[in-house]
Amino acid sequence: MQAADDIGKLLFLWPAASSTLKEAAVQLGYYGYSARLFGSLADLLAAEADGPTCVLIDCCRGDGLVLADKTALTALSARVALACISHSGAIASRLEAVRMGCQAYFTRQLDMTSLLDTLDRLTAPPQAEAGRVLIVDDSPALATFYAAHLQEAGFVTQVVNDPLKTLEALDEQAPELILLDMNMPGASGEEVARVIRQQDAFLSIPIVFLSAESDIGRQREAMSLGGDEFLQKPIQPEHLISAVKSRVIRYRALRALMVRDSLTGLLNHTNFKERLRAEAARSKRQGRMLSVALLDIDFFKKVNDGYGHPAGDRVIKSLSRLLRQRLRGADVIGRYGGEEFAVALPDTSGDKAALVLDQIRVSFAAIVQHAGDRTFQVTLSAGVAQYHEGSDGESLIQVADEALYTAKHGGRNRVEIGGG
């Protein structure tokens, strides 16, 4: 039950004799990367058809790279992301790497946190969609016109021709922007906007009004009732796409600040619990399995006291990254507080969830953490709860917390299933 596919996770490392790359290959494996070491550049180039998304080279050899190697790597960098490790942080060395096509540059001692952050960025798959847009317009022809052009630009659209069905559509699939016609029978756009803004869950979703209205006073009045922008009909497709795209990008940035933990990028405590409530309601409605787990880093205070709070933050980030890499896209992951994490695994039994989390526990214990020149290792404990008839988000968290308590008092570095 690994996170996503292995696409984007194949790395080539050269030369195989580099002790730095050997250790990096082991550590990267814990985070879901497949790292292959090559003894010669010729062998690496011959294997390019296997589809690596990044090539990491160690340039720390005494004689440096010969001209033929530099030429071959420069050509390779046009097809595959290239990163290098060097002894020197001087600008001359960095410029040489840039001219060779390197997108990332690391100096020894190699910082695994920095390496992983960079690899996550370089190997991230392209975003599947530009955004989700709800179009509310009583004209089927105009709504279809807007939807067609937005879909061509990569947006996922949902069309509602009856303004009285707007809330129903919002509940089905929360959009990242609402295109709202001003003049509709049954309810005006301004009225619909006011109804939307009464719902706390929809307060931050941008609303863009569409109308042939040219009166500036009316436009301003509409904006004061909850709109974010006013587009006057007829609208050129490129103008529509540009306005929607900029608003969605801004919404995503603001939304991330509101719902994500700043250190890990995971859901914060409040929003994890909201998502868990929704998953529990779905399990009840559809009769599907759901498991919830709480994870806690063992003896975390000793990490902060012994190695400093920056090292503690890196440990927290390493576990958050491991959870993202090893769990599925459908799983809900949050930072529950401090060194505690929470996970909801839909369509998963308690036994299966415990097995997956135990694999994560083993990998986390094997990761070498760094604090300057010192290294150390950390373990975690976890408690698992499985949904049963009558469960809700709060009761699942309580059972998982009790199981976590059992794991902690049973010796730590273990996973326990609660509610038995």
- Cα-flanking dihedrals φ and ψ of residue 30, to 5°? -70, -25
**Is the domain of 54 the same as that of 143?**
no
CA atoms within 13 A on the CB side of 268: 10
**Is the domain of 92 the same as that of 220?**
no
**Is the domain of 175 the same as that of 72?**
no
**Is the domain of 249 the same as that of 274?**
no
216 three-state secondary structure: helix
State the total domains in the chain: 3
* Prediction pTM value: 0.65
Examine residue 264 and state whether it is found in any structural domain, yes or no. Answer: no
Give CA separation, 16 vs 36, 40, 53, 57, in Å: 9, 8, 18, 10
**Is the domain of 246 the same as that of 288?**
no
- Mean model confidence pLDDT for the chain: 88
**Is the domain of 298 the same as that of 335?**
yes
167: CATH: 3.40.50.2300
pLDDT tens digits for the chain (420 residues)?
Answer: 444 444 458 999 999 999 999 999 998 988 888 999 999 999 999 999 999 989 999 987 545 678 899 999 999 999 999 999 988 889 998 999 999 999 999 987 788 888 888 888 787 765 556 789 999 999 999 999 999 999 999 999 999 999 999 998 887 777 999 999 988 999 988 899 999 988 877 888 899 988 877 767 766 776 776 778 888 888 899 999 999 998 898 888 787 777 888 889 899 998 899 889 888 888 888 888 999 999 999 999 999 999 999 999 999 999 999 999 889 888 999 999 999 999 999 999 999 999 999 999 999 999 999 888 899 999 999 999 999 888 888 999 999 999 999 999 999 999 999 976
- Listed residue (255, 251, 279) closest to 267, CA to CA: 255
**Is the domain of 294 the same as that of 399?**
yes
**Is the domain of 66 the same as that of 176?**
no
Cβ pair 196, 226 in contact under 8 A: yes
**Is the domain of 89 the same as that of 161?**
no
Examine residue 309 and state whether it is found in any structural domain, yes or no. Answer: yes
Cis amide leading into 236 (omega within 30): no
Examine residue 3 and state whether it is found in any structural domain, yes or no. Answer: no
Strand partners, 105: 84
Structural domain ending residue among the three candidates 227, 259, 291:
259
Q: List the domain range (segments joined by +) for residue 369.
A: 269-417
**Is the domain of 247 the same as that of 273?**
no
The string of pLDDT tens digits covering residues 10-35 is 999 999 999 999 999 998 988 888 99
The span from the CA of 324 to the CA of 86, in Å, is 29
**Is the domain of 224 the same as that of 285?**
no
Examine residue 77 and state whether it is found in any structural domain, yes or no. Answer: yes
The span from the CA of 357 to the CA of 362, in Å, is 9
